[in-house]
Every structure is written in C-alpha cells, then in structure tokens.
Amino acid sequence: MCTPPNTAASNPFSFTHSLSSKSLHLSLLSSPPLPPFHFLNGLLLLGSSQNFSNPPKMVSLLLKSWFQIGEIKIRQSAMVGVVKLVVMLLVFGVVCECQESTDDGSYSSSSSAGVYMVTLKQAPSVFHNYRPNVKKIVHPFGVLDSTSGGANTLENPSFGNVTKRGHHRFGSRIARVHDSLLRRVLKGEKYLKLYSYHYLINGFAVLVTPQQAQKLLGRKEVANVVPDFSVRTATTHTPQFLGLPKGAWLQEGGYEAAGEGVVIGFVDTGIDPTHISFADRLSENSYPVPKRFTGVCEVTRDFPSGSCNRKLVGARHFAASAITRGIFNASQDYASPFDGDGHGTHTASIAAGNHGIPVVVAGHHFGNASGMAPRAHIAVYKALYKSFGGFAADVVAAIDQAAQDGVDVISLSITPNRRPPGIATFFNPIDMALFSAFKSGIFVVQAAGNTGPSPKSVSSFSPWIFTVGAAAHDRKYSNSILLGSNVTITGVGLAPGTDDSYTLVSANDALKDSETPNDEYVNECQDSSSLNQTIVEGNLLICSYSIKFVLGQSTINNAVQTAKNLSAAGIVFTMDPFIIGFQLNPVPMSLPGIIIPSANDSKILLEYYNSSLERDPVSKRIIKSGACACIAGGVEANFSYSAPKIMYYSARGPDPEDNSFQDAEILKPNLVAPGNFIWAAWSSGGTESVEFLGEDFAMMSGTSMAAPHIAGLAALIKQKFPYFSPSAIGSALSTTASQHDKGGGPIMAQRAYANPDLNQSPATPFDMGSGFVNATAALDPGLILDIGYEDYKSFLCGINGSEPVVLNYTGTNCGPTKVNGADLNLPSITIANLNWTRTVQRTVTNIGGNESYSVGWSAPYGVSMKVTPSHFFIANGEKQVLNVLLNSTMNSSVASFGRIGLFGDKSHALNIHLSVIVKTAYNMSSSS
C-alpha cells in the first residue's frame, strides 16, 4: 500500500555534484544502424569493386559466405539449385547500382529485372477438383529437395511422432508446361523462374526484365502479368472474455477437444517449434493428425528434425522473391520456418496454442494462456520476415501450398503496402488466390490493417475474405505514482510497486563529477557507468523517454538494467515533450517502475522534483533534495465495463472498390475481435519488440492479433459443422455478433490517434462490421446465409470492364448472370448509392431445427424500409427468402445505418446490418 510521505519528517538525502550546464534539446537523429548487407547484395558489391574475372571463384565466395552467415550446412546434392540462383543473380546484376526498389516493392528502373507473377489461361488444379498425390510446389533452388539431410530436407509428421523424410522430387506436369513456355518465349535470353503455382492459380513467378514481361504478356497462353508488390504484418484472458470455458468449449467437449481435427494454416513470420504452446504431449488423449492433411516440415539447423509433431503438423518457408532483391539476410531472417521476428509465433498461439500455459514475463506471473481452439492443428507457411516484410509472389506461393496441403482455415495477419491498381481492388494476385481457396472450401481470415481511424483505410477488400478489426477487451493494466505533494499521476508499466516512499533523483543530477557523458541523452539511463551509484542507490531514478525509445535506439530494458546496477529502489520514466500523441503499450519491468505517457503529467512531476532541490549558491551544486514518491505497481490487472471498444488504429470502411475511392457494396471490416494488449507466445529468437527479447510471452496490439482470434473460433465452428462452407462460417460469426459492451451500452469507437479515449463515439458498421464476435452464439446461429463461388464470380463479372480480367484469373468466361455487391447473399447489406428506391433479397437456411421467426428492423436515417415476410416458420434444412424494400427520403451523402433482426421462438437471434452511403430522393419537379 502506497501512502503519501510526511514531507516534514522525511529524510532527504544530501550530496554535492556539479550540474551540467547543457540544456535539453532534440536534434535530427540519424537513421537506426543498417542491418548487415545481405550475403548476395554485399558480396556482389564486393565482387564488382574487386573486378572478379573468374565467375566460379565468385560463386564459390558467395556460397561460402551464404553458408557462414546463415549457419547452414548444405550437402553437395543440394548445391546445384543454389549455384543456379547465384549465377542468375550475377547475370541480372542484383546490386544497388543496377536496380532500385520503391516503397511498394516494385522496381523503379524501366530496364532492370524485376519479379512478375504470370497467370495462364488454363484453369489451375483446384478448378478441376484435382489434387496431386504429392503436395508440394516446385521450389526454384533445389534446396528443399535435398535427398540426404541437406539444409532444407522435408519431413512428413503425419504418422504420430515417427517422421519420414521426403526422398523423391515431385515433377509437376504444370510446372513443366511453365518451363516449356519460358524456354519458347525467352529463347536464348536470361531469366529465373522462382515458383510454379498450379493448385489455386495456374501460373508462375519469374525474374525478368520489363521487356521480357511484355513478351510473355503477348502470348496467347498468358492471361495476366502483374509486377510483384510488397506486404507487411499488420492470450491469457480473452478466452474468458469471449465466454469460451463455459460456452463454446463446453459445446465441443471441453478445452481438451476444442478444435481437434481442424488444421489452421498461418501465412506469417514462421514459428518457434520449441515453445510449449505447440507441444503435443500435454494431454494423455490421442491426438491424431487428420489424414487429409499432407503437409511436410522443412528441416534445417535452426528447425531440426522432430520440430513438427501432432500439434505443429507442417512448416515451410518462402523467400524467393525477397532473395532476388538482395535484401534477404539469412542471419536475421532465417532461411527456414523458424520465427526470427516473434509475430508468427504470437498469432499461431492466439488461434491454437495449448491450454493452460503459465505466462511468466520479467519474473511476474500474468495468468495462464490458451488459444481459441487449443486442440486444433497448426501448419506454418513463412512468407514474412523481420528485415523487410514480404512480397506477394512469396505470399501467393505460401497460400498455394497451404491449399494443396489440405488446411481448413488460413489466417493472414498481413496486408498489402498499397491499394491494388486496376479496375477493382479485388483483382490482385493475393485476393484471387484466396478466391480459389474459397472455392476449395477454405475459410480465409485477414487482418483489416492498422491504418485507422480514417474512413476507407481498410486493407482487406474482397467479400470472400473475412476481414477482422481490432477491439479492446475488458482487462487493463494501469500503474500510478503518488508524489510527496499528494498528487497521483497515472502511467503504464508491468512492474511491481514500491513498499514505501523513496526519494526521487534525476539521472541528470546523478552524473559522476569526473564523467563527461558520451552523448546528450544521458538522461535516458542507457549507461550506468556515467552515473554516481552513491547518489542513485536506494532512490527512485528519473529517466527521460525520448524519441530514441520510439525509434528503438534506446530501450526500457537497458534503463532498468542501469537502475539495477546502481541499486536504485525503482525507476520513473517521464515523457519528452517533443513526443506528441505516441501510444505506449504496457512494458514489463523486473523492478518497481512506471512510464508516464503524458507530457503534461511528466511536467508536473519534474516541477515538483525541481522545486524541492537546494543548490549551493556559488557552485550551483545540489546539496539537498526533498522530492519523494511511491509507485503503486502495474502487475495486477483490473477490469472495465466499457469494453469492447474499437481501437483507433483499427482500419475502417467503407470498402474502397478501386483507387478512385469508389465505394464497394461490401461491408468491411466483417467483424471485430480482441486485438489490444494480447498476451501470447513469443519466439526465443523474436526481435520485433526489444522489450520482450528473451521472454517466452509478449503483449502485442493490432489487427494482427484480432484475426487469429477469429481463425481459432472458425476452427471450432468447422469442428461442429464440418459440412459448413466458408460463407456459412462467416455468416454464423457475423449474424450472432454482439452490438453492446459489457455494461449494456453501445460499443464505442476511438476516432483519433492522440488522446483516443477523449475522441470516441458509438461505433458504426464501418468501424466494427457486424459487431464484436460472440463465440458461443456463433456455434448455434439457427440460420445461415450461404453463398457460393459462382455467385462471387457473377459479382466480379458485374464490374464494368472486368470480363477479360475474370477470364484471366479463373480460366472461365463470364456467364449471362451478373450481380451487384448489394445483391450477394451476404450477412449484411451495403448500398453505395440509393437512387430513390431499391429492393434486395436475402435467403436464410435453417440449420437449427424447426423454428418460427419474427422479423424486426430499424431503418437508416433518410431511408424508409420494409421487410417481408415479417413472420415465418422454417423447417430444418429449408430456405426462406426475405425481401427488403428501401426508399430514400432525402438527399444526403452522409452514410447512415440500420439493422434487420430475426428472432426465433427457440432463442435464436440474428442481425443483418444495413449501410446506405449516398441517398437520392425522387425529385418531382425534375420529372415534370
């Protein structure tokens, strides 16, 4: 318990110390130190500077460097493909002087080589319901197919813990067609094929010049040629907050069975296979791998044999596009499925991590963690990397492989770095690959993006993708410091409190007399050698949280270690006034501490501290300090009724149909889920957050954390309803979503980055989609709204000028039926422009037994509406059509929102959200 000190009876310390005359100021900082040159890029530059005239010698040096930097041992049988890659890169000149990558990952030079994704007109395997016996894409380097324990051999973990090595290369017929086409079109020219896609997309990724790309585009067999582009990455309590232990898990037979038999594929930064969240021997119950899943595991030095098991059933990595750019650093990014970032391990454990794993960070126990579907199986397809993010060619290869392997759910916590060009946002290689995944029955979840709160900021576009925004849940970690002046200041910090009041001392006032600081940021407490331990010992050390912490050049961990080295009683961080609006996550600290995120509150503390100092009138040395304080601590969580709440960073709708920001008649995001302050597993090599370096768990925030919540819950639905289509799963999640917070009030949405809790208002469907996920209700929706592949194809064909593009991507022509987005049988209705009147239909299917329903509705402002029938009886398995008549009653371009409610006599309740953007009323004068 922290009580204010009796300042009259306090015993302030006395000392003498020369004050620095330097005033605090910020100057322009240099960029963070660049990572070491990639082995190819750096050595190619080295080779050009030394004028190598012996190509074999150059190749040998390159290979030697690669193996040393990557710490990978490759046997002679695996070297042919690597030599091919290196020689081709030498030929293309992948060096800084030769080609330059723009922010979106494309190449700026019109004559330099770049990666292109080429789609052929012949339909891919999935359109012929064809699955090859061996589930493997053709890898361009040959490394994956080493026959005797090379750097990247393959294991098949499908037979319990007894693994089998892959000994035979699968010669894909379609891959041979691709090779033949390239030889014919580019006869005698230099190129490098990176991937053959043949399951979801019939095509390939190839390194060619723009002129060669034009040659390929001119061939009658070729449907599309698209430049590669870059992508980026966008829990202990959330199972309880979502009601899983007494709800959804109970329906599945408890947590020991929740998700069993369902495989979730993660396209992310990889996984740490040693983490206990992914062990398969925590239960005595049998844990069979689904027979339909045929994935394999790469074997490398950092992902050794036995890394996969009955829980982690597949793991591969995809980096060919990144390697051709010369930015892949094997020592940082790992040429294996191992997670050198932390993001992928975190997301995988949110969805399907084991149940009841103790979360211990910085010596503090924060509860026990569990995934949403703790018995689901995990398959990892690493295509994102710490150093550079990722590229579409690699992501498409990962998605293609996941579909071939037989996953049930794909989780994508990634978004493109730019809005796709062309006639519609839906026509991009990633979304179209996921369209084919939808056809094959895979439920696809994608993060909405962290670009909120601006309208039309969502980065997941297509209706066959389930887009998830981020909301806060009810658990919070708060901290505070009580000053001797009886003023309490709130802050953050996962740290213990002090047992009493202690004297405050600033790092600036604790410099050694003989010491000159190495830099002007000594008050950041990054180096204990320049501070006087006699002054700091037993006191609370005040440090400054400056711009260097934001840039990652200074860390909380270093400052905490400084305080420990000097035997401080605790540490207090004040916010530099030059940092405006920066949002701090709770940071773990192993000694009493607090970060004050408000510059104004920091000023109050520093004014109190400075007012207590007594200085020698001649030397200006401090001889006495009377400021003291106690820290309450922030390890214990508290809970709020104002949850869920849409976070300021969560990307918003409406869904942009194209680069001109025309509104698509598709509701995005689809739903929101917990995404703020989420505890989950962390990789032993994870470097994304330096504050959690070396920890087994980390607390992260973002739509990246929200998406795997839905992936795990989708696995529970798939387990209960194995016959459900992806649309049926999405309908069950959407129509049952909650509209209110824990206190019964409306869900609020933060509207500003700075002071978000002071800038909030009730959330709309463009903030939260259909609402906040209700896991228990989603497992018993009563009715579903289903939609098929052909319906979505008719929607794409309805976009002006899209018929040749649809043919290019699907290999089939558009039919006579064309559908607007509002007429798709989605569990929502979005109308971009209501011109006087319009009727739309929705068809519901009963999957919950015979039931009578009544229908109610609330109309959007400026719209009158009627739904028929208003009552209906529906037997199990039957369908019912709902007719929704809408009339505009005013002219307005401001979006308004309504809702249709379906209420069954067996307690089923569904909501279909209605959004109308532009409204145009019938003008009598203009018609006369």
Catalytic residue among 268, 280, 576, 601: 268
- Bridge partners of residue 297, in order along the sequence: 155, 315
Q: Which residue has the tokens 């509406």?
A: 865
Give me the helices (H) in 645-702, please: none
Helix (H, G, I), strand (E, B) or coil at 752: coil
Instruction: State the Cα–Cα distance between residues 912 and 920, nearest whole angstrom.
Output: 23
Burial 341-373 (b: 16+ CB within 10 A, else e): bbbbbbbbbbbbbbbebebebbebebbebbbbb
Q: Which residues contact 790 (CB under 8 A, 6 or more apart)?
A: none
Residue 268 catalytic?
yes
Instruction: State the Cα–Cα distance between residues 309 and 372, nearest whole angstrom.
Output: 20
Catalytic residue among 38, 178, 343, 913: 343
Q: What share of the chain is helix, strand, coil (3-state, %, to 5)?
A: 25, 25, 50
| Structure tokens belonging to residue 102 | 């723009």
Instruction: State the Cα–Cα distance between residues 96 and 46, nearest whole angstrom.
Output: 12
Q: Single out the residue of 605, 592, 482 nearest to residue 539, CA to CA.
A: 592
Query: HSE on the CB side for 853, CA within 13 Å?
Result: 31
Catalytic residue among 172, 230, 683, 704: 704
Instruction: State the Cα–Cα distance between residues 329 and 351, nearest whole angstrom.
Output: 29
Q: Which residue has the tokens 């040429």?
A: 335
Instruction: State the Cα–Cα distance between residues 226 and 218, nearest whole angstrom.
Output: 13
Instruction: State the Cα–Cα distance between residues 134 and 169, nearest whole angstrom.
Output: 9
| Structure tokens belonging to residue 658 | 């194209």
Instruction: State the Cα–Cα distance between residues 323 and 394, nearest whole angstrom.
Output: 10
Q: Which residues contact 600 (CB under 8 A, 6 or more apart)?
A: none
Element (H, E) at 593: strand 593-596
- Bridge partners of residue 410, in order along the sequence: 265, 444
C-alpha distances out from residue 107 to 186, 231, 362, 536, Å? 21, 15, 44, 54
Q: Single out the residue of 707, 799, 657, 821 nearest to residue 415, CA to CA.
A: 707
259, 376 contact by CB (below 8 A): yes
Q: How many helices (H) and strands (E) does the chain have?
A: 23, 44
Instruction: State the Cα–Cα distance between residues 567 and 544, nearest whole angstrom.
Output: 19
146, 75 contact by CB (below 8 A): yes
C-alpha distances out from residue 442 to 127, 232, 534, 727, Å? 14, 22, 64, 10
Sheet with 230-233, side-by-side order of all strands: 390-391, 230-233, 414-416
Distance from the Cα of residue 549 to its chain's centroid: 23
Give me the helices (H) in 327-455, please: 330-333, 343-352, 392-405, 429-439
Residue 343 catalytic?
yes
Helix (H, G, I), strand (E, B) or coil at 405: helix
For 436, which DSSP code? H
Instruction: State the Cα–Cα distance between residues 712 and 837, nearest whole angstrom.
Output: 41
Instruction: State the Cα–Cα distance between residues 299 and 74, nearest whole angstrom.
Output: 11
Plot region of 552 (φ>0 → left; ψ -120 to 50 → alpha; else → beta): left
For 140, which DSSP code? T
Amino acid at 186: L
Q: Single out the residue of 552, 602, 553, 555 nearest to residue 577, CA to CA.
A: 602
C-alpha distances out from residue 273 to 280, 387, 844, Å? 11, 21, 43
Residue 616 catalytic?
no
If one counts every other C-beta atom within 10 angstroms of the C-beta of residue 83, the result is 16
Catalytic residues: 268, 343, 704
